[in-house]
Structure 1
Amino acid sequence: MRTFYTCDIHGDYNSFISLINHVNFNPEKDRLVIGGDMINRGPKSAEMLQWAKNNHEQYTDRIHILIGNHEEMMIWFMNELSPMWMEFGGDDTIASFKKVFGAEQGWDLAEEYAKWLEGLPLIFEDDYAIYTHAGVRIGVDKENQPREIVWINQKELLEIDETILKNLDRWKICISWS
């Protein structure tokens, strides 16, 4: 089975479709892991979320969707916890929902998608790798990773003590985009 990982699509649905067509992705035979940040900035966030949700539900064992920090911001916004999302592309995402689903229904569907996003995992692991949006906390098992791992940056990853990495009892590559 081939495994593909992509991340930070940011509403560029057309490029995403071109990419999976280019590699001849077949959900009957292949695995796809989308590592979050499907929304914001690009013009087709609604289409991207619609594709991700529909295909994940149809091919649960083959298409794995992870949450990223942009989805986290959307959840916070919809739960009235933080307005930050609007500063980082939330307005583009809402416009996309309204364009695709209509002004009234678009907002309601965006809220429904936020509820779906809230249940997405932080990590997917197979026999070969651990997949995340931005990284993992070393020494914390998969089930107990904190939600803030969607915010890890490259500087934090590079600062991990090499002796900690060498002493891990189980070594797998961690695939993320930070």
Structure 2
Amino acid sequence: MSVEKQLYSVSIYTENNIGLLNRISAIFQRRHINIESLNISPSEIEGVSKFIIVVDMTEDNVKKIIGQIEKQVEVIKAYYHNLDEIIYQISGLFKIKSELLFEEPQIQNIIKESHARIVTVNKDFFVLEKSGKKEEVVALYNQLSVFGIMQYTRSGLISVTKEEMKISSLLEKYNN
């Protein structure tokens, strides 16, 4: 049992009901736990949503949180994984003045070396997208900030487990 704090990815499979996000976030709030990132999307089963919440806490506390989350009526199942047990990505979008793309040769090198992708270009700005680990997106931000970033946003973590999850068969039974 780990008493050391670390990042955990909490995956919650739910019915898609109004107000559930508030109740789930209240569970973390009551325990004074900051949510590092949050993503909600459809899951592999039609009609079932998947929350991915990243928190920095001890394993004991994450187990207690899972127990509280699973008491919510709409929650089908909740899991937690440390970052070594999942394959994950985040995305960052960077809006930069177009003139820099043509006037600063270093910008093109940064784009190539970081494996970022140009999403759109117009006369005023261009937008880059970078997916990867948080450190990779932050490193690109640090490199580009020297030239000036007009806008920047970063997504929450999305993930799948390295090990097979039995949730699909559980959800199929739930859905029938």
Query: TM-score with structure 2 length normalisation?
Result: 0.28
Higher helix share: 1
Where relative contact order (Cα < 8 A, 6+ residues apart) is larger, the structure is 2
TM-score by length of 1: 0.28
